[in-house]
Amino acid sequence: MEKHKINGISFTAGVWPAPANRMTLIFIHGSGETSLLWDAQVAALAAEYNTLALDLPGHGESDGPGMDTVADYANAIMAFVQKAGLANLVPCGLSIGGAIVQQMLLGHADKLQAGILVSTGARLRVMPQIFETIEKDYQQFVAMSRLFAASPKTPATLLDPLMEVTARCDPAVTAGDFRACDRFDVMARLGEITRPVLIISAEDDQLTPPKYSDFLEKNIARAVRCRITGAGHVVPVEKPHEVTRAIDAFLESLASL
Ligand code: COA
Protein backbone atom coordinates (compact mmCIF):
# COMPACT_ATOMS: atom_id res chain seq x y z
CA MET A 1 0.00 0.00 0.00
CA GLU A 2 1.17 3.53 -0.78
CA LYS A 3 2.49 5.47 2.21
CA HIS A 4 2.15 9.17 3.05
CA LYS A 5 3.97 11.16 5.75
CA ILE A 6 2.87 14.08 7.93
CA ASN A 7 4.68 15.37 11.04
CA GLY A 8 7.19 12.50 10.76
CA ILE A 9 4.39 9.89 10.93
CA SER A 10 4.07 7.53 7.98
CA PHE A 11 0.63 6.10 7.17
CA THR A 12 -1.45 4.22 4.64
CA ALA A 13 -4.91 5.50 3.75
CA GLY A 14 -7.94 4.06 1.96
CA VAL A 15 -8.59 7.44 0.33
CA TRP A 16 -6.14 10.36 0.55
CA PRO A 17 -6.63 13.28 1.00
CA ALA A 18 -9.41 12.33 3.42
CA PRO A 19 -12.86 13.80 2.61
CA ALA A 20 -13.84 16.18 5.44
CA ASN A 21 -17.42 14.98 5.88
CA ARG A 22 -16.70 11.35 6.86
CA MET A 23 -15.76 9.60 10.10
CA THR A 24 -12.00 8.96 10.32
CA LEU A 25 -10.70 5.64 11.61
CA ILE A 26 -7.09 5.83 12.85
CA PHE A 27 -5.61 2.31 13.12
CA ILE A 28 -2.69 1.72 15.51
CA HIS A 29 -0.54 -1.41 15.45
CA GLY A 30 1.04 -3.55 18.20
CA SER A 31 4.60 -3.68 19.59
CA GLY A 32 7.35 -3.83 16.93
CA GLU A 33 4.80 -3.84 14.08
CA THR A 34 3.69 -1.39 11.35
CA SER A 35 0.53 -0.23 9.57
CA LEU A 36 0.60 -3.53 7.68
CA LEU A 37 -1.35 -5.13 10.55
CA TRP A 38 -4.43 -3.22 9.38
CA ASP A 39 -4.11 -3.47 5.58
CA ALA A 40 -7.30 -5.53 5.19
CA GLN A 41 -9.45 -3.14 7.29
CA VAL A 42 -7.99 0.03 5.68
CA ALA A 43 -9.02 -1.30 2.27
CA ALA A 44 -12.36 -2.90 3.21
CA LEU A 45 -13.77 0.09 5.13
CA ALA A 46 -12.53 2.81 2.74
CA ALA A 47 -15.79 3.08 0.82
CA GLU A 48 -17.66 4.36 3.89
CA TYR A 49 -15.03 5.88 6.19
CA ASN A 50 -11.67 7.63 6.06
CA THR A 51 -9.25 4.86 7.00
CA LEU A 52 -5.66 5.61 8.04
CA ALA A 53 -3.18 3.13 9.53
CA LEU A 54 -0.12 4.70 11.18
CA ASP A 55 3.43 3.57 11.72
CA LEU A 56 4.16 4.64 15.31
CA PRO A 57 7.28 6.84 15.77
CA GLY A 58 10.43 4.73 15.20
CA HIS A 59 8.46 2.01 13.33
CA GLY A 60 8.14 1.24 9.63
CA GLU A 61 8.74 4.42 7.65
CA SER A 62 8.00 6.89 10.47
CA ASP A 63 10.73 9.11 11.89
CA GLY A 64 12.26 8.08 15.20
CA PRO A 65 12.89 7.79 17.96
CA GLY A 66 10.58 5.10 19.38
CA MET A 67 9.06 5.85 22.78
CA ASP A 68 8.63 3.98 26.02
CA THR A 69 5.42 5.31 27.45
CA VAL A 70 1.87 4.95 26.13
CA ALA A 71 1.20 8.62 26.95
CA ASP A 72 4.08 9.77 24.69
CA TYR A 73 2.72 7.70 21.78
CA ALA A 74 -0.80 9.10 22.37
CA ASN A 75 0.57 12.67 22.32
CA ALA A 76 2.49 11.96 19.09
CA ILE A 77 -0.74 10.74 17.44
CA MET A 78 -2.71 13.78 18.65
CA ALA A 79 -0.01 16.08 17.20
CA PHE A 80 -0.26 14.13 13.91
CA VAL A 81 -4.06 14.39 13.64
CA GLN A 82 -3.95 18.10 14.39
CA LYS A 83 -1.30 18.74 11.73
CA ALA A 84 -3.19 16.53 9.23
CA GLY A 85 -6.42 18.45 9.97
CA LEU A 86 -8.38 15.27 10.72
CA ALA A 87 -11.70 15.36 12.61
CA ASN A 88 -14.57 12.97 13.52
CA LEU A 89 -11.93 10.61 14.93
CA VAL A 90 -12.38 6.98 15.96
CA PRO A 91 -9.01 5.48 16.98
CA CYS A 92 -8.73 1.68 16.76
CA GLY A 93 -5.70 -0.05 18.30
CA LEU A 94 -4.36 -3.51 19.01
CA SER A 95 -2.37 -4.43 22.13
CA ILE A 96 -0.13 -1.37 22.81
CA GLY A 97 -2.25 0.32 20.14
CA GLY A 98 -5.31 -0.40 22.31
CA ALA A 99 -3.50 1.03 25.32
CA ILE A 100 -2.85 4.19 23.28
CA VAL A 101 -6.57 4.36 22.39
CA GLN A 102 -7.50 4.10 26.10
CA GLN A 103 -5.03 6.91 26.84
CA MET A 104 -6.64 9.03 24.09
CA LEU A 105 -10.13 8.26 25.46
CA LEU A 106 -8.95 9.43 28.90
CA GLY A 107 -6.97 12.51 27.86
CA HIS A 108 -8.38 13.69 24.53
CA ALA A 109 -12.04 12.55 24.54
CA ASP A 110 -13.24 15.91 23.20
CA LYS A 111 -11.52 15.11 19.88
CA LEU A 112 -12.95 11.56 19.59
CA GLN A 113 -16.35 10.16 18.62
CA ALA A 114 -15.62 6.66 19.96
CA GLY A 115 -12.78 4.16 20.44
CA ILE A 116 -12.07 0.58 19.37
CA LEU A 117 -9.96 -1.74 21.54
CA VAL A 118 -8.67 -4.94 19.94
CA SER A 119 -6.68 -7.66 21.78
CA THR A 120 -5.72 -5.39 24.65
CA GLY A 121 -6.24 -4.65 28.34
CA ALA A 122 -6.27 -1.90 30.95
CA ARG A 123 -3.05 -3.34 32.39
CA LEU A 124 -0.43 -4.98 30.16
CA ARG A 125 2.31 -6.60 32.23
CA VAL A 126 4.91 -8.29 30.05
CA MET A 127 6.60 -11.66 30.62
CA PRO A 128 10.30 -11.17 31.58
CA GLN A 129 11.12 -13.79 28.92
CA ILE A 130 10.10 -11.26 26.22
CA PHE A 131 12.61 -8.63 27.42
CA GLU A 132 15.35 -11.26 27.91
CA THR A 133 14.92 -12.72 24.43
CA ILE A 134 14.83 -9.31 22.68
CA GLU A 135 18.09 -8.42 24.47
CA LYS A 136 19.80 -11.75 23.75
CA ASP A 137 18.72 -12.61 20.19
CA TYR A 138 16.12 -10.50 18.39
CA GLN A 139 15.42 -13.03 15.65
CA GLN A 140 14.75 -15.64 18.33
CA PHE A 141 12.22 -13.21 19.80
CA VAL A 142 10.52 -12.97 16.39
CA ALA A 143 10.38 -16.78 16.18
CA MET A 144 8.93 -16.88 19.71
CA SER A 145 6.30 -14.25 18.95
CA ARG A 146 5.15 -16.31 15.99
CA LEU A 147 4.24 -19.03 18.52
CA PHE A 148 2.41 -16.65 20.87
CA ALA A 149 0.81 -14.28 18.35
CA ALA A 150 -1.77 -16.45 16.63
CA SER A 151 -4.24 -19.25 17.24
CA PRO A 152 -2.93 -22.77 16.60
CA LYS A 153 -5.76 -22.93 14.04
CA THR A 154 -4.27 -20.08 11.95
CA PRO A 155 -2.18 -21.19 8.93
CA ALA A 156 1.45 -20.16 9.59
CA THR A 157 1.85 -18.47 6.20
CA LEU A 158 -0.83 -15.89 7.07
CA LEU A 159 1.59 -14.48 9.65
CA ASP A 160 4.63 -14.22 7.37
CA PRO A 161 4.23 -10.55 6.27
CA LEU A 162 3.66 -9.36 9.86
CA MET A 163 6.61 -11.38 11.18
CA GLU A 164 8.80 -9.91 8.42
CA VAL A 165 8.02 -6.32 9.46
CA THR A 166 8.60 -7.23 13.11
CA ALA A 167 11.96 -8.78 12.19
CA ARG A 168 12.97 -5.48 10.52
CA CYS A 169 12.04 -3.29 13.53
CA ASP A 170 14.94 -1.89 15.57
CA PRO A 171 15.13 -4.21 18.64
CA ALA A 172 15.52 -1.16 20.89
CA VAL A 173 12.21 0.22 19.55
CA THR A 174 10.40 -3.10 20.14
CA ALA A 175 11.87 -3.25 23.67
CA GLY A 176 10.63 0.34 24.28
CA ASP A 177 7.12 -0.69 23.20
CA PHE A 178 7.09 -3.57 25.68
CA ARG A 179 8.43 -1.29 28.46
CA ALA A 180 5.54 1.07 27.67
CA CYS A 181 3.09 -1.85 27.95
CA ASP A 182 4.64 -3.07 31.20
CA ARG A 183 4.20 0.40 32.78
CA PHE A 184 0.65 0.85 31.48
CA ASP A 185 -2.15 0.49 34.04
CA VAL A 186 -5.48 2.34 33.80
CA MET A 187 -7.54 -0.35 35.57
CA ALA A 188 -8.71 2.19 38.16
CA ARG A 189 -9.53 4.87 35.55
CA LEU A 190 -11.86 3.09 33.11
CA GLY A 191 -14.92 4.69 34.78
CA GLU A 192 -13.72 8.03 33.38
CA ILE A 193 -14.22 6.84 29.78
CA THR A 194 -17.49 8.31 28.52
CA ARG A 195 -17.34 7.69 24.75
CA PRO A 196 -18.80 4.52 23.16
CA VAL A 197 -16.17 1.78 22.95
CA LEU A 198 -16.05 -1.42 20.89
CA ILE A 199 -14.03 -4.22 22.49
CA ILE A 200 -12.87 -7.05 20.22
CA SER A 201 -11.33 -10.12 21.85
CA ALA A 202 -10.14 -13.38 20.33
CA GLU A 203 -10.73 -16.74 21.96
CA ASP A 204 -7.16 -18.07 21.60
CA ASP A 205 -5.30 -14.85 22.55
CA GLN A 206 -2.43 -15.85 24.86
CA LEU A 207 -0.84 -12.39 25.17
CA THR A 208 -3.94 -10.42 26.20
CA PRO A 209 -6.47 -13.12 27.13
CA PRO A 210 -10.26 -12.53 26.85
CA LYS A 211 -10.27 -12.05 30.65
CA TYR A 212 -8.62 -8.64 30.03
CA SER A 213 -11.48 -7.71 27.68
CA ASP A 214 -14.05 -8.92 30.23
CA PHE A 215 -12.60 -6.32 32.61
CA LEU A 216 -12.76 -3.58 29.96
CA GLU A 217 -16.37 -4.48 29.13
CA LYS A 218 -17.44 -4.48 32.79
CA ASN A 219 -15.81 -1.15 33.63
CA ILE A 220 -16.36 1.02 30.53
CA ALA A 221 -19.84 2.53 30.67
CA ARG A 222 -20.77 2.47 26.96
CA ALA A 223 -18.99 -0.73 25.93
CA VAL A 224 -19.98 -3.10 23.12
CA ARG A 225 -18.25 -6.51 23.01
CA CYS A 226 -17.37 -8.69 20.04
CA ARG A 227 -15.80 -12.11 20.68
CA ILE A 228 -14.07 -13.79 17.76
CA THR A 229 -13.47 -17.54 17.76
CA GLY A 230 -10.62 -19.50 16.19
CA ALA A 231 -8.19 -16.55 16.33
CA GLY A 232 -5.42 -15.29 18.60
CA HIS A 233 -3.73 -11.98 19.41
CA VAL A 234 -3.29 -10.74 15.82
CA VAL A 235 -6.97 -11.21 14.98
CA PRO A 236 -7.08 -8.44 12.29
CA VAL A 237 -4.75 -10.65 10.21
CA GLU A 238 -6.22 -14.01 11.28
CA LYS A 239 -9.90 -13.11 10.82
CA PRO A 240 -9.90 -9.92 8.72
CA HIS A 241 -13.54 -10.09 7.60
CA GLU A 242 -14.89 -10.68 11.11
CA VAL A 243 -12.93 -7.70 12.46
CA THR A 244 -14.06 -5.47 9.58
CA ARG A 245 -17.70 -6.50 10.08
CA ALA A 246 -17.55 -5.82 13.83
CA ILE A 247 -16.08 -2.34 13.26
CA ASP A 248 -18.61 -1.52 10.55
CA ALA A 249 -21.58 -2.68 12.68
CA PHE A 250 -20.31 -0.65 15.66
CA LEU A 251 -19.87 2.53 13.62
CA GLU A 252 -23.32 2.06 12.06
CA SER A 253 -24.84 1.78 15.55
CA LEU A 254 -22.99 4.77 17.04
CA ALA A 255 -25.96 7.11 16.78
CA SER A 256 -28.03 4.84 19.04
CA LEU A 257 -25.33 4.17 21.71
N1 COA B 1 -7.39 -7.06 32.89
C2 COA B 1 -7.91 -7.84 33.85
N3 COA B 1 -7.16 -8.52 34.74
C4 COA B 1 -5.83 -8.38 34.66
C5 COA B 1 -5.22 -7.60 33.67
C6 COA B 1 -6.07 -6.91 32.78
N7 COA B 1 -5.57 -6.11 31.84
N8 COA B 1 -3.88 -7.65 33.82
C9 COA B 1 -3.65 -8.46 34.87
N10 COA B 1 -4.83 -8.90 35.36
C11 COA B 1 -5.01 -9.82 36.48
C12 COA B 1 -4.28 -11.12 36.25
O13 COA B 1 -5.07 -12.03 35.53
C14 COA B 1 -3.98 -11.55 37.64
O15 COA B 1 -5.17 -12.08 38.20
P16 COA B 1 -5.11 -13.39 39.16
O17 COA B 1 -4.26 -12.96 40.31
O18 COA B 1 -6.55 -13.63 39.49
O19 COA B 1 -4.49 -14.46 38.32
C20 COA B 1 -3.69 -10.23 38.35
O21 COA B 1 -4.37 -9.23 37.61
C22 COA B 1 -2.19 -9.88 38.38
O23 COA B 1 -1.66 -10.05 37.08
P24 COA B 1 -0.43 -9.26 36.48
O25 COA B 1 -0.58 -7.83 36.80
O26 COA B 1 -0.34 -9.59 35.05
O27 COA B 1 0.86 -9.76 37.27
P28 COA B 1 1.44 -11.22 37.44
O29 COA B 1 2.71 -11.01 38.21
O30 COA B 1 0.43 -12.16 37.99
O31 COA B 1 1.79 -11.74 35.96
C32 COA B 1 2.83 -11.83 33.78
C33 COA B 1 2.80 -11.15 35.16
C34 COA B 1 3.77 -11.04 32.91
C35 COA B 1 3.30 -13.28 33.92
C36 COA B 1 1.38 -11.83 33.18
O37 COA B 1 0.95 -10.50 33.14
C38 COA B 1 1.24 -12.43 31.83
O39 COA B 1 1.22 -13.64 31.63
N40 COA B 1 1.03 -11.56 30.81
C41 COA B 1 0.61 -11.98 29.47
C42 COA B 1 1.75 -12.27 28.56
C43 COA B 1 2.43 -11.05 28.03
O44 COA B 1 3.62 -10.83 28.25
N45 COA B 1 1.72 -10.23 27.28
C46 COA B 1 2.27 -9.08 26.63
C47 COA B 1 1.27 -7.98 26.69
S48 COA B 1 1.78 -6.64 25.63
Question: In the prediction, which pLDDT does 134 show?
Answer: 98
Report the first-to-last Cα separation within the chain, whole angstroms.
34
Tallying the residues shown for the chain, one arrives at 257
Predicted confidence (pLDDT) at residue 255 exceeds the cutoff of 90: no
Report which protein residue has its CA nearest ligand 1's atom 45. Answer: 207
Average pLDDT over residues 102-108: 98
* Side chain identity at residue 103, one-letter code: Q
- Bond into 91 cis (ω within 30): no
- The minimum-distance atom of ligand 1 relative to the CA of 178 is 48
Interacting residues of 232 by C-beta distance below 8 A, sequence separation 6+: 148, 149, 150, 151, 154, 202, 204, 205, 206, 207, 238
The Cα 142–Cα 162 span in angstroms is: 10
Sheet arrangement for strand 223-228: 4-6, 9-13, 50-54, 24-28, 89-94, 115-118, 197-202, 223-228
Name which of 14, 9, 25 is nearest 118 in CA terms. Answer: 25
* Cα 119 to ligand 1 centre (Å): 14
Residue 94 parent element (H or E): strand 89-94
The pLDDT tens digits for 113-167 are: 999 999 999 999 999 999 999 999 999 999 999 999 999 999 999 999 999 999 9
The pLDDT tens digits for 85-102 are: 999 999 999 999 999 999
The pLDDT tens digits for 220-237 are: 999 999 999 999 999 999
Report which protein residue has its CA nearest ligand 1's atom 6. Answer: 212
* Cα 214 to ligand 1 centre (Å): 13
State if residue 130 touches ligand 1 by the CB under 6 angstroms criterion: yes
CB 234 within 8 Å of CB 37: yes
The pLDDT tens digits for 192-221 are: 999 999 999 999 999 999 999 999 999 999
Name which of 170, 167, 181 is nearest 121 in CA terms. Answer: 181
State if residue 125 touches ligand 1 by the CB under 6 angstroms criterion: yes
State if residue 126 touches ligand 1 by the CB under 6 angstroms criterion: yes
Report which protein residue has its CA nearest ligand 1's atom 41. Answer: 207
User: Which of 118, 119, 125 should be mutated for ligand 1, with most atoms under 8 A from CB?
Assistant: 125
Predicted confidence (pLDDT) at residue 256 exceeds the cutoff of 80: no
State if residue 181 touches ligand 1 by the CB under 6 angstroms criterion: yes
Average pLDDT over residues 5-28: 96
Predicted confidence (pLDDT) at residue 1 exceeds the cutoff of 90: no
Among positive and negative, which fits the CA dihedral 249, 197, 159, 1? positive
Report which protein residue has its CA nearest ligand 1's atom 2. Answer: 212
pTM equals: 0.98
State if residue 215 touches ligand 1 by the CB under 6 angstroms criterion: yes
Average pLDDT, the chain: 97
